[in-house]
A and B are shown apart, each in its own frame.
Chain A
Amino acid sequence: MVKKETPQTPGEREDLSAQINTLFQTRKEAIGAYKSAVQNLINSVNTLFKIDDNILNLVIKPKKE
């Protein structure tokens, strides 16, 4: 517990400062803000396809006489 009285001497002020730092650190660890952050990184991928030697079959009908 932090003292509520106004510190009167340099020693008392240092003591109060240390107590506040301890409480602040405990609070940060309790809420997890100090512990971990999740990061995401992305990239994309695609490709290219080809067809070689395409053959189109054409049917040529004989001309009617």
Chain B
Amino acid sequence: MVATVIILRKTGSGPTTSNITSINTRANTTDIHSTADTTAPIQIPTDTSTKRSFWVVTRLQCTVAPASLIDNIEWYTDGANSFGTGVACIGQQGTSYTQATGTTGDTGLALTTGNYTSLTTDPVNVFTFTSAAPRTITGSTSGTGEFGNSFVYQITVTSDASPGATTQETWTWRFDET
């Protein structure tokens, strides 16, 4: 039987899991999933500092098991930052869940290996991960449930950004199924 796999966003202390497969999730300064939240935007700084979204934790979940195995998990972008001037996105894989935090309506805690201790290495510009050079995500499954490492990312903004909603960027998870 062909497996059924979905993308989860994990939030809160539980954590709560939300199915974000084929939809938008907004990376604002709040630790909830929404497609278009307007209550907790990121404050654009007026000085040389950087403001951030709360980090976004995503992971795969298998709801119908594969005939044999799912492995060779990869994560990538289209390679071009279309968020706009002054906006960047950093990310990395992590081996466990750490709840996002920060100041709602202002900025999130910086995504670093110090603040998110299970990141396998320092977060980098996610647009360096492309279909030709994806981020390899450790893990595999032959059953149901969440599997593999999480991919964690955060949007950052500097003073030259414009207010309002950004365009949507598409992230892709790719894996082999046997």
Contact = CB atoms under 8 A, between A and B. Distances in A.
Interface of A: 35-52
Given A47-B28, A48-B164, A49-B162, A41 B6 contact: yes
**Interface majority SS (helix, strand, loop, mixed), chain B:** strand
A49 B37 CA distance: 11
Contacts of A51: 43-44, 46, 163
B165 A47 contact: yes
B49 interface: no
Interface of B: 2-3, 5-7, 20-28, 37-38, 41-44, 46, 53, 56, 58, 60, 83, 87, 89, 105, 153, 155, 157, 161-178
**Interface majority SS (helix, strand, loop, mixed), chain A:** strand
A52 B20 CA distance: 31
A52 B53 CA distance: 17
A41 B133 CA distance: 17
